[in-house]
Structure 1
Amino acid sequence: MIVTEKSFSEQTYWEEIARCKTQFVNNGEDPLLNPYLRKEVAESWIRSKNNGVFPWTSYSKYYLTEEEWGVLKEQNERLIHIAQPLISNYLGLASTNGHSLELFDPSGAFLLGIHINISSTPVLSIVFNESTTGTTAHGLATYHKKPFQLIGPENYLDVWQNMICSAAPILDEMGEVLGTLALVQDMGEKPWEKNRSNLHIHSLGWVSSLAEAIGNQIKIQNSYDVLNQVNNDLRKATETLKIILEFIDEGVITIEPNGRILSSNHEGSRILNVNHGEIRGRNIGEFLLPRSALMDYVADKKTVDYMEEYVVNGREEKQYLVSLRPVYKQGNDELDFAILRFNHSDKINALVNTRSGAVAKFRFEDIVGQSEAMLKAKALARRFARTRENVLLLGESGTGKELFAQAIHNSHRPGGPFIAVNCAAMPRNLIESELFGYESGSFTGAEKNGRPGKIELANGGTLFLDEIGDMPIELQAVLLRVLQDKMVMRIGGRNYRQVDFRLITATNQDLKLSAQERKFREDLYFRISVLNIEIPPLRSRGFDIAILAEHFIENYAKRVGLPAAVISPEAKRRILEYNWPGNVRQLENAMIYAVNLSEEGQIMLSHLPKELSEKRTALPMVSEKECDKPEELFSMKDLEKVTIKKALERAGNSVAIASDLLGISKTTLYRKLKEHNIHY
């Protein structure tokens, strides 16, 4: 509310307000009921009185300490810096008319200005608010966030009863008060008789304009700060991105829709074989084959992952997997630029192999067994693992040939991929594409970007071809060429790709006989069988059977969260005497079956699979080579000696178990051992 000229000139107006304040302070009369007093002023009086402030209070005791004043100036540094020159320009005008121009912070602390005829006490460190000096114009302007004017007795302190104060808030971008500018006019005695109404009526508009000008300057400065901060953050982000791009081992290149190169990291420049400082402005098409579809994808604004491309450097062509990401102009779908990422195909293949489980997990230490036959096979495999020659693993199904292949790989090329292919399990019409891969569009159903074959994926590692005897004869010639030249061409391709891998093959067939019968290429047989290892069947591994059974029980129980079961003596005897035609794989399955049927942590004979629990299987017949004599007929004594040895081996040199397997007493077995001079 602005005081009108009429009210300013009426003595009654001044006296009625003064009387209202006296009645309020002394007698508790409600100032809100007085028609001469504005509501905002009355409410401020009430707050002031409730704060323990009275009109006769002196404000001289509300000083800030020097430290507090220093903090205050620092907090309001921008406000003071911008307001000071503007205030200085008007101080001369104000002081010649007996006025003062002052700047306060939101708490009412005095920041700038010169007081005229208020007090001889320095005021550069005094706080003026409802808790210290009661109602003031700058306090109301701060409280209500709008310009305010108080006349004479509306000011709460008696010392200001002849003052008129006009104040306006300085607001920030969010409408919050940064400070308040106040113009104080000393009207002297009987101000209603003074001809100054015109000046004080326009003073509120003048101080409001000045406060708005200061606020605008602060907003502009804040905008500059924000812009500078954004630019600084953008610069940091750009520099960080450049550094990150240099750390990665992929080529990252940005191009315009027409192929013009905008930027590249150092790896991208290296891939294109161009000096890093000279790559900008070149066209990506210069480095691609004429048949490349990359720019077609750019024109179509397509997103592409791992598309095979050849980068041409002179006469040399190198293959890379290129990913494409279009970037659109802001506000529409028009292509602004495209980002290309170049990966060497070997690195992607290694990643694919890792994620698809093409990793050898087993080492020689993981192959369980202490029998003479098994120790011999492991020793031979360890020796062969040191070389780069092809290895052929011979043995029945289920004997653990892949475990040996993985162990050999982990001794020779542990960092490379281990690619296993079962030639018998793969459909005949798919094995060629699986092994050799194919280019895009080679046949109906082929992936649009082509696909690497198992041989290509094995580059830098090991290719394990299980059941090699079941490979189609027509593919054997192609495999032989790959082994000879260390080059592979995809189906539908025109370029050979260099490959470097170690070949390990496995079979349960007699490949030599198959070669003689022309069911297997003889030249391929000789190529893959440079080093042969025979994996013994489980039935010839003696007490390894019991060791493996306990190993499988413990592993399975741990995997499913069950306590490890103990094999009863009766069940162990049956496990040891069984022939195990399915070898280690059959034994593992039998133990899983038994654990799931076991009760109270013990595996009984009835818990074993049907083929083990129903009837007793005799020990296998003794072979001719196991006898000490070369004659065609053997004496009963020789057969007895060999049978006892075999029983001891199967029982892990346990006389109790061996005697049970033989169906004789321990006493009889001890006598027979002494008789045949058998040491165990």
Structure 2
Amino acid sequence: MTRDIDLDDIRTSVAPPGRQTQSLSVANLDYDERRTMRAWENLLSGASDRDRARSPVRSLIRDSWHRCASGGIDAQQNEAPLRGGRDEVEHLAYLNRELLEAARRSFFTIGRLLEGTGAMLVLADGEGTLIDTVGDERTLRDGMDIHLAIGGKWTEDVVGTNGIGTALWAGEPVFVHAAEHFCAGIKAWTCAGAPVRDPFDGRIIGVVDLSGHPDIFRPHNTALVAAAAREIEKALADQQSEERTRLLEAFITSAPRYRRSDGLMIVDRHGRVIYKANLPRPIEGGFLASFSGAPARRLVELTGADSLEGLVSQLPQEFQTCHVNRLELDGDLRGAALVFPPVAAPSLVPAVNPASTRLNEARAAIVGESPALRAAVDVACRVSQSSDVTSLLIEGETGVGKELFARLLQQGSRSGTSAPFIALNCGAITRELFGSELFGHAPGAFTGASREGKPGVFELANGGVLSLDEIGEMPLDIQPFLLRVLEDRVVTRIGDSRRRPVDVRLVASTNRELKQEVEAGRFRRDLYYRISTVSIRVPPLRERGEDIVLLLDHFNQKIATRMQMEPLVFTPQALDHLMAYHWPGNVRELRNLVEKLHVLSHGGSVGLADLPGEIIRGEGDAHAPASLPATGMGTLEDAERQAIRQVLAAEDGNLSRAARRLGVSRPTLYRKLDQYGIRRGFI
């Protein structure tokens, strides 16, 4: 590879006019433009493996750079290649019409919000070719200079490291910021891309990408495009469900002589099996068993089958004896029905584990992808499927969703929803009634007791799950009796001598630190060790990063559906503040806010003016600095401004270290920089 690149010109092109190279915090990593450029230069100059190992660049980017260099990508390249003429672009749109239709609503909504922001949203197909663009007009025009426009080809193997191509390679959301791009002409851009997967088989069929000049970078850009990709996938799933129904209706209309004893298989226009029943064993247990292991395979290619004979000729040998019907919708070939002669015995269908199905459904109800949350869910699922673990302790702040984890224990059991699930909030019971609620009482056992007697929650939960919420509120004098029931698995009602066996799995939850309660003498040590055989800490929302955006989208869609209205659209500024807020009330507080905004917002758009004052001001941030260095200046704002400048200067502009030294979160520091007009390039 030639090395006649003018590096000074490249550095100038990367930094926007009036700005110098910068250091900023990117997804918990320090991005330093000068060091990144130096690592890129070393790669192009053939640096040793030792130098490469010490590279400051993220592993995702470093690996991509090496693929590009070994693949012969021209590092001096200024633009992506452009597909052919108008006819080819129109044909491309036709081939991706389902994807474009699924993205239409999201792109229309987001596109209006991006005007004036310096950002553009693009949609690429599974081959990395752009098929739609929306956003800020000026940025769209700038994008044409590098062929970031419809018809541009943005895979890694033709234009190097970038948000679209690298997301296709990695198969997950990624961002590529400024100097992290491989090709020189693209280093003046920042981008975040997220793959769009086919809901039917999970293969990647496109990429959503947010691009613009480096100033548009925000830590949650990746979460935004991931949320947009999920919206498109939901729309695709709805389209596929509707088409499946229409194809079944088309078959019923076109095949009046079909008998219920016949074997039937229906494929869509992509050759994917969308329905099957009563298939012969050689087909069901032979060919399809091997076929299902390769989800990207297609049984038959319908797009080139102009005649029935052409369609039949493409079928595998095992299908040559079946009868084939073309299925047309709106005059187009959209599928085929394959009818097999009746079989003597029903085909063998693999058994479905109802417990696993229920567990997956319950797991899906816990929204979030942060590592801490997924780890907690994994532990809960394993406990639910193990008959050896009879108790589980769930610790977490108020509002984090501990009750959802308690439900996992029930859903994963063999009895499932038929087994009882009894919940008791220990913080809502008077001291006098604790024993009666837990263990029940005999007729007339005490003043106010019912004449018939009453079973306690242990008896009611027999054979299922007992959830004791806020167990830290349980009085000390009741705790020994609870321990005895857990040890002996026998309960005796108050005022009765009869011992009643109980088979109960206990889920205890608390918003207290029970270990501290034990040390303080407010909770029995032996009971603590008995109920904490396995313990789970549900992380607070402030520790879950981009889960805030996922939950916001989840509640937005759910509440909109319930209220029969369109989902709200949040401005980028509103999202910035929502991401930076501390959320002392956790998921419950976020859900209540979304419900309130659905009632009070005007025009379906949520901006800063619609958010509560505590979110605008950043109140409730446990990481807010307790004090600031004395400066001798007149106002608190002046003191704060000066303190930030001093710390940034001391840390050479490194925002991650400056935030830690000031005792604030990175989003809070970003907000303060904007508030006081402190430009990150001039510290």
TM-score, structure 1 normalization: 0.40
Look at both structures and tell me which one has the larger radius of gyration over its CA atoms: 1
The higher relative CO (CA closer than 8 Å, separation ≥ 6) is in 2
TM-score for both structures, normalised by structure 2: 0.40
